[in-house]
Amino acid sequence: MTTKELPSVYQQFIHKSRYARWLPEENRREEWHETVARYFNFFEKHLEKNCGYILDKKTRKYLEDKVLNLEVMPSMRALMTAGPALEKENIAGYNCSYIPVDHPKAFDEILYVLMCGTGVGFSVEKKYIENLPIVADNMHPTETTIVVRDSKLGWAKAFREILTLLYAGQIPKWDISNIRGAGERLHTFGGRASGPGPLVDLFNFATEVFTKAQGRRLTSLECHDLVCKVGEIVVVGGVRRSAMISLSDLNDREMRDAKSGEWYRVESQRALSNNSAVYQNKPENIGVFMEEWLSLYKSGSGERGIFNRQASKTVASRNKRRDTDFEFGTNPCSEIILRPHQVCNLSECVVRSGDSEEKLLDKVTAATILGTMQATLTSFKYLRKTWKETTEKERLLGVSLTGIMDHKILSGNIFNKAALKDLLVKLKNKSIAVNKEWAKKFKINQSTAITCVKPSGTVSQLVNAASGIHARHNDYYIRRVRGDKKDPLTQFLISQNIPTESCVMKPDSTSVFSFVEKAPDYGLTRHSRTAIEQLEHWLIYAEHWCEHKPSITISVNDDEWLGVADWCWRHFDELTGVSFLPNFGHVYQQAPYEDIDKATYDKLQKKQPNEINWNELMTYEKEDTTKSSQTLACTAGACEIVDV
Q: Do 71 and 354 contact (CB within 8 A), yes or no?
A: no
Distance between CA atoms of residues 67 and 106, nearest Å:
36
- 442 and 559 together in one domain: yes
What is the tens place of the pLDDT at every residue in 21-56? Answer: 999 999 999 999 999 999 999 999 999 999 999 999
Number of Cβ within a 10 Å radius of residue 293: 19
Structural domain containing residue 436: 31-93+331-469+523-582
Q: What is the pLDDT of residue 128?
A: 99
User: In the predicted model, is pLDDT for residue 596 greater than 90?
Assistant: yes
- What per-residue confidence (pLDDT) applies to 636? 37
According to the model, what pLDDT value does residue 637 have?
40
Same domain, 406 and 353: yes
Please give the full DSSP string across 223-292, using - where no structure is assigned: HHHHHHHHHHH--SSS-SS--EEEEEETT-HHHHTTTSSSHHHH-GGGGGEEEEEEESS--SSHHHHHHH
Same domain, 417 and 564: yes
Q: What is the mean pLDDT of residues 151-180?
A: 95
Final residue belonging to a domain, choices 260, 279, 298: 279
Query: Is residue 554 assigned to a domain?
Result: yes
As a whole number, the mean pLDDT across the chain is: 91
The answer as to whether 246 is a domain residue is yes
Q: What is the pLDDT of residue 237?
A: 37
pLDDT-derived band of residue 495, with 50, 70 and 90 as boundaries? very high
Domain end marker among 554, 582, 610: 582
Residue 46 has what pLDDT? 99
The distance of Cα 438 from the centroid of its chain, to the nearest Å, equals: 26
Please state, in angstroms and rounded to a whole number, the distance separating the CA atoms of residues 272 and 562.
29
Three-state DSSP class for 634? coil
**Cis ω on the peptide bond leading into residue 304 (within 30° of 0)?**
yes
Length of the chain: 644
Q: Does pLDDT of 433 surpass 60?
A: yes
The reported pLDDT for the residue numbered 242 is: 58
Same domain, 114 and 155: yes
Judgement on whether residues 74 and 169 belong to the same structural domain of the protein = no
Do 405 and 552 have their domain in common?
A: yes
φ/ψ of 275, rounded to 5, equals -115, 135
Predicted pLDDT of residue 634: 43
**Whole-number percent of the chain with pLDDT over 90:** 79
Backbone angles phi, psi at 555, to 5 degrees: -85, 120
CA distances, 88 to each of 188, 235, 466, 568 (Å): 9, 20, 34, 45
Q: What is the pLDDT of residue 626?
A: 77
Say what the pLDDT of residue 627 is.
Answer: 64
The SS3 of residue 519 is: coil
Q: How many domains does the structure of the chain reveal?
A: 2
User: 369-416: per-residue pLDDT in tens?
Assistant: 999 999 999 999 999 999 999 999 999 999 999 999 999 999 987 668
Q: Which of 448, 424, 416, 410 is nearest to 545 (CA)?
A: 424
User: Nearest 5°: phi and psi at 231?
Assistant: -65, -35
Q: Is the predicted pLDDT of residue 619 greater than 70, yes or no?
A: yes
Using a 10 angstrom Cβ sphere, with 0-12 exposed, 13-18 middle and 19 or more buried, the burial of residue 150 is middle
Could you tell me if 141 and 80 lie in one domain?
Answer: no
- For residues 643 and 481, the answer to whether their CB atoms sit within 8 Å is yes
In the chain, DSSP finds a helix count (H) and a strand count (E) of 23, 20
Question: Nearest 5°: CA angle at 591, between 589 and 593?
Answer: 140
pLDDT at 592: 87
What pLDDT does residue 520 have? 86
Banded model confidence at residue 586, pLDDT cuts 50, 70, 90? low
Whether the predicted pLDDT of 4 surpasses 90: no
Residues 340 and 247 placed together within one structural domain of the fold: no
Residue 1 has pLDDT above 60, yes or no: no
- Is the pLDDT reported for residue 328 higher than 90? yes
Packing angle, helices 32-51 and 57-68, rounded to 10: 140
Q: Are residues 404 and 539 in the same domain?
A: yes
- Residue scoring higher pLDDT (625 or 10): 10
Overall average pLDDT of the 443-450 stretch: 99
CA-based nearest residue to 72, from 403, 406, 424: 403
User: At CA 187, angle to CA 186 and CA 192, rounded to 5?
Assistant: 20
Give the pLDDT of residue 415: 63
The maximal CA–CA distance of the chain, rounded, in angstroms, is 72
Residue 308's identity, in one-letter code, is: N
Q: Is 644 part of any domain?
A: no
Answer yes or no: is pLDDT of 93 > 50: yes
Burial grade of 619 (CB within 10 A; 0-12, 13-18, 19 or more): exposed
CATH assignment at residue 399: 3.20.70.20
On whether both 82 and 107 belong to a single domain, the answer is no
Q: How confident is the model at residue 277 (pLDDT cuts 50, 70, 90)?
A: very high
Q: Are 589 and 504 in contact (CB under 8 A)?
A: yes
Q: In terms of domains, do 115 and 60 share one?
A: no
What pLDDT is stored for residue 623 in this prediction? 80
Residue 264 binned pLDDT confidence (cut-offs 50, 70, 90): confident
Among 534, 553, 582, the domain boundary falls at 582
437 shares a domain with 533: yes
Q: What is the pTM of this model?
A: 0.94
Q: Are 278 and 247 within 8 A, CB to CB?
A: yes
